Amino acid sequence: MTSVSADGTSVRDCMSEHVVTMRATETLDRAAQMMVEREVGSAVITRDADIEGIITERDVLRAVARGLVPWSTSVSDCMTPKPATVSTSTPAGTALSMMLENNYRHLPVVDEGVLVGIVSLRALAAIAAAKEAPAAS
């Protein structure tokens, strides 16, 4: 695809280093609280250094739609296991096309097996919009 990758913008330039992490055994309402408190839309589920999954606002929505009780449902029952990841050097356009093709809104950023950040559709969209906006003339 696209023009956003053409000028060398990479995930490094638009990711957030403030990743909210939690364990799979924590409850759904705790996940919601952490996302609200930290003003993020996802939390990465880790065990030791491994990424087990990701939980997003959309997963919370699905759980509510299924009638699950948030305080007795564990994150492991609602998370997406083994999420796709990118690295800091992945072109922004590649990350964006992964999101649009697969309906993801967040991708964990992993360098040499270590979780270093998260990149969101919003951050990539902001770059895309800025780059594509017609220049004032």
Partner 1 sequence: MTLEIGSLASEHLVTVGPQHTLAEAAQRMNQNKIGSVVVLVEAAMPGILTERDLLRSIAEGADAESTTVERYMTPIAITGSASWDVYEAANRMFEGGFRHLIVLDDQGSPSGILSLRDLVKALLETSSSDRLSEPRT
Give CA–CA dist 103/7, Å, rounded.
Answer: 24
Residue 132 is a binding residue for partner 1 (CB under 8 A): yes
Kindly indicate which of the ranges 18-26, 56-64, 83-91, 108-116 contains the residues binding partner 1, using the contact rule CB under 8 A.
Answer: 56-64
Could you say which of 9, 19, 22, 41 contacts partner 1 (CB under 8 A)?
A: 41
Of residues 10 through 29, those in contact with partner 1 by CB under 8 A are: 28-29
Instruction: Collapse the DSSP code of 56 into the 3-class scheme (helix H, G, I; strand E, B; otherwise coil) and give the result.
Output: strand
Q: Which is nearer to partner 1, 22 or 96 (CB)?
A: 96
Instruction: Collapse the DSSP code of 37 into the 3-class scheme (helix H, G, I; strand E, B; otherwise coil) and give the result.
Output: helix
Residue 23 near residue 75 (C-beta atoms within 8 A) = yes
Shortest Cβ 49–partner 1 spacing (Å):
28
> What are 10's two structure tokens?
């990479």
131 Cβ neighbours under 8 A, 6+ residues apart? 3, 4, 7, 9
Could you say which of 8, 48, 71, 112 contacts partner 1 (CB under 8 A)?
A: 71
> What are 47's two structure tokens?
């065990």
Give CA–CA dist 95/110, Å, rounded.
Answer: 13
Q: Which is nearer to partner 1, 4 or 19 (CB)?
A: 4
Interacting residues with partner 1 (CB under 8 A): 1-4, 28-29, 32-33, 35-37, 41, 57-58, 60-62, 64-67, 70-71, 96, 100, 121-122, 124-126, 128-129, 131-134
